[in-house]
């Protein structure tokens, strides 16, 4: 049985607040912070630049993190590139592909702005973009994505779990459909990696982008990009660490993933993310998924029973519960929850305005759960929302 109260000891802030804003960022466990402190205090050197002992230790620890991420995703280490966040990872694909006028991209209306705006901007280069709508629960039918494909489609870009609805998409079916017309598939896994098992082999994706600071419990400013065929993508940045040789006539790039990691990286952040990945693996990714989805689904069902409360998303949601209370502004509800019970939730459009427009509301209150969330915290959320709703009756 998953022992949530044992892992909570590694997250001191949870003694002060009820933290239910995990879709925005999770808390970072003590062992991860200690790993980053160890870098600064015991062996701080630059990555891959030098032969002395501190640089060697730094490089080894950095590559240990790459190995950990690769193991989690069932990928090869050379296919994992470290970035600053999911947003940078997606933009590296958007600007690393050599687009031609007439190319076509398929994406969806439930995307975070980070997986929508880079593709929309390519319209300036003559690339057409089709945006597929979801059903009422926030699920995009794979058949609708398939119907949008053409002979000119180069890429399908889709989130695995919506940060607004908490809905899980059938990415594997979308991947098969995309490959049938010769298109590649990019997965925005910001809300899935660390919260559920994610295998690039099973998904059949060509690119996968994720953050270090969400389900992976790592520090902010860290992210990853999986590239199935690194030679198919041009590096967006060039400079130190990316080249094997340089002459007055040109240069020869390093082998992947080095060619995609220009300049000094966020070394302590990546080392911390690697330690966080090991923390997640040790906890058991299947255990985490069962715990988080159980909390979210039971909370959504109970909130739906409260008169005046509107809950969005599918019944089989994954970790995210968006709702509104009567005519109250979502920000006001969030402030009341914080000021009365120290319950921290997100409110607004969640960097996904098309999704919110699809719902026909100005925004939502979003409660999102993580591996350290408890049934008692969910109970208090429901109880407090019921009290707020009762004042409007």
Contact status, residue 131 vs residue 108, Cβ threshold 8 Å: yes
Burial class (CB in 10 A: 0-12, 13-18, 19+), 352: buried
Answer with the residue of higher pLDDT: 139 or 48. 139
- Are residues 205 and 228 in contact, defined by beta-carbon separation less than 8 angstroms? yes
Q: Can you give the pTM of this predicted structure?
A: 0.97
Task: Determine the average pLDDT of the residues in 280-293.
Answer: 97
State yes or no: pLDDT of 199 exceeds 90: yes
344: annotated active-site residue: no
Under the banding of pLDDT at 50, 70 and 90, the label for residue 1 is low
Distance CA 392, CA 307 (A): 10
The gap between the terminal CA atoms of the chain, to the nearest Å, is 41
Is the pLDDT score of 4 beyond 90? no
Mean pLDDT of 357-369: 98
Q: What percentage of the chain has pLDDT greater than the value 90?
A: 97
**Which one from 351, 353, 361, 380 is the annotated catalytic residue?**
351
127-159 pLDDT, tens digit each: 999 999 999 999 999 999 999 999 999 999 999
- What does the mean pLDDT of the chain come to? 97
H or E element: which one contains 281?
helix 267-283
Nearest to 273 by CA among 45, 49, 84, 76: 84
CATH-assigned architecture of domain 284-392: Alpha-Beta Complex (3.90)
For residues 145 and 156, what is the distance between their CA atoms, to the nearest angstrom? 8
Mean pLDDT of 60-87: 98
What is the arithmetic mean of pLDDT over 179-193? Answer: 98
The CATH number that domain 31-282 falls under is 3.40.640.10
3-state helix, strand, coil in the chain (%, to 5): 45, 20, 40
pLDDT digits (tens, 9 = 90+) for 202-242: 999 999 999 999 999 999 999 999 999 999 999 999 999 99
**CB hemisphere CA count around 301 (13 angstroms):** 9
Contact yes or no for 120/170 (Cβ under 8 A): no
Q: Where are the domains of the chain?
A: 31-282, 284-392
Burial tier of 177 (Cβ tally within 10 Å: 0-12, 13-18, 19+): buried
Strand partners, 131: 107
- Enter the tokens of residue 71: 């193991």
Whether the Cβ atoms of residue 128 and residue 99 lie closer than 8 Å to each other: no
User: Collapsing DSSP states into helix, strand and coil, what is residue 338?
Assistant: helix
pLDDT at 110 over 70: yes
Instruction: Note the pLDDT of residue 49.
Output: 78
């Amino acid at each position: 049985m998953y022992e949530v109260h044992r892992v909570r000891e590694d997250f001191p802030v949870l003694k002060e607040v009820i933290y239910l804003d995990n879709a925005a960022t999770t808390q970072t466990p003590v062992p991860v912070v200690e790993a980053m402190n160890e870098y600064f205090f015991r062996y701080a050197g630059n990555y891959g630049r030098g032969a002395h002992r501190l640089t060697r230790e730094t490089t080894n620890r950095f590559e240990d993190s790459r190995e950990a991420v690769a193991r989690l995703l069932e990928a090869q280490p050379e296919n994992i590139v470290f970035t600053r966040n999911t947003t940078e990872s997606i933009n590296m694909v958007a600007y690393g592909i050599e687009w031609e006028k007439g190319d076509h991209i398929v994406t969806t209306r439930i995307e975070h702005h980070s997986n929508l705006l880079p593709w929309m901007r390519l319209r300036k280069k003559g690339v057409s973009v089709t945006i597929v709508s979801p059903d009422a629960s926030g699920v995009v039918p794979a058949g609708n994505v398939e119907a949008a494909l053409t002979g000119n489609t180069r890429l399908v870009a889709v989130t695995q779990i919506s940060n607004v609805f908490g809905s899980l998409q059938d990415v594997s079916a979308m991947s098969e459909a995309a490959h049938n017309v010769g298109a590649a598939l990019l997965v925005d896994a910001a809300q899935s990696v660390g919260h559920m098992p994610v295998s690039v082999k099973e998904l059949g994706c060509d690119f996968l982008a994720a953050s270090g600071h969400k389900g992976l419990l790592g520090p902010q400013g860290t992210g990853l990009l999986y590239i199935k065929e690194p030679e198919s993508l041009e590096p967006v940045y060039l400079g130190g660490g990316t080249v094997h040789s340089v002459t007055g006539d040109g240069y020869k790039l390093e082998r992947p993933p080095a060619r995609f990691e220009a300049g000094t990286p966020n070394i302590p952040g990546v080392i911390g993310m690697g330690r966080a990945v090991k923390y997640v693996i040790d906890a058991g990714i299947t255990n985490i998924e069962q715990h988080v989805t159980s909390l979210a689904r039971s909370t959504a069902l109970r909130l739906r029973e409260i008169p005046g409360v509107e809950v969005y998303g599918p019944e089989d949601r994954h970790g995210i519960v968006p709702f509104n209370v009567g005519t109250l502004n979502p920000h006001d509800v969030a402030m009341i929850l914080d000021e009365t019970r120290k319950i921290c939730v997100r409110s607004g459009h969640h960097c996904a305005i098309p999704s919110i427009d699809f719902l026909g509301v100005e925004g939502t209150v979003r409660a999102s759960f993580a591996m350290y969330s408890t049934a008692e915290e969910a109970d208090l959320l429901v109880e407090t929302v019921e009290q707020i709703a009762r004042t409007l009756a």
